[in-house]
Amino acid sequence: MDYTRLIAQLRKHEGVEHKPYTDTVGKLTIGVGRNLDDRGLSDHEIDFLLQNDIQLVEEELDQWWSHWRSLNQTRQLVVADMMFNMGRPRLSQFKMFLAALQAGDYEMASTEMLDSKWASQVKGRATTLADMMSTGDG
């Protein structure tokens, strides 16, 4: 089969949508006719999306707050996890947390993480990440 031709034809007939939409029969759809209600995503597709999202998080952190690269691997994981979860607009509001990180006061950074509305929303995630931040292990 001529896959190049089929892809061009499907893109033309189905259209290309970068965000989910409801199709003509009420199915949640994305991309080139991907029926999310009935087909969903495979594990491979989920991993592919996750890798892309992680890359975007790293790029955004590098542009916005390059100090994060000077942290040890565990603390970099914490910052990347928080950025992934909250995005830059919310994470940038954690001024005391970011100042503590900049100063190398990881105990204070951990305290600031737990003393937030975010911590009450994500519960165990915040506790785990705060412990990782405090100890540098995990």
Residue-wise pLDDT for 3-41, tens only, equals 999 999 999 999 999 999 999 999 999 999 999 999 999
Residue 138 has what pLDDT? 81
Domains of the chain: which residue ranges?
3-35, 43-135
Instruction: Give yes or no for residue 106 having a pLDDT over 90.
Output: yes
Mean pLDDT of 62-88: 97
pTM of the model: 0.90
Residue 57 has what pLDDT? 98
Angle in degrees, CA 88, 64, 62, rounded to 5? 110
CATH of region 43-135, choose from 3.40.50.1000, 3.40.718.10, 1.10.530.40, 1.25.10.10 = 1.10.530.40
Strand order in the sheet with 34-35: 17-22, 28-31, 34-35
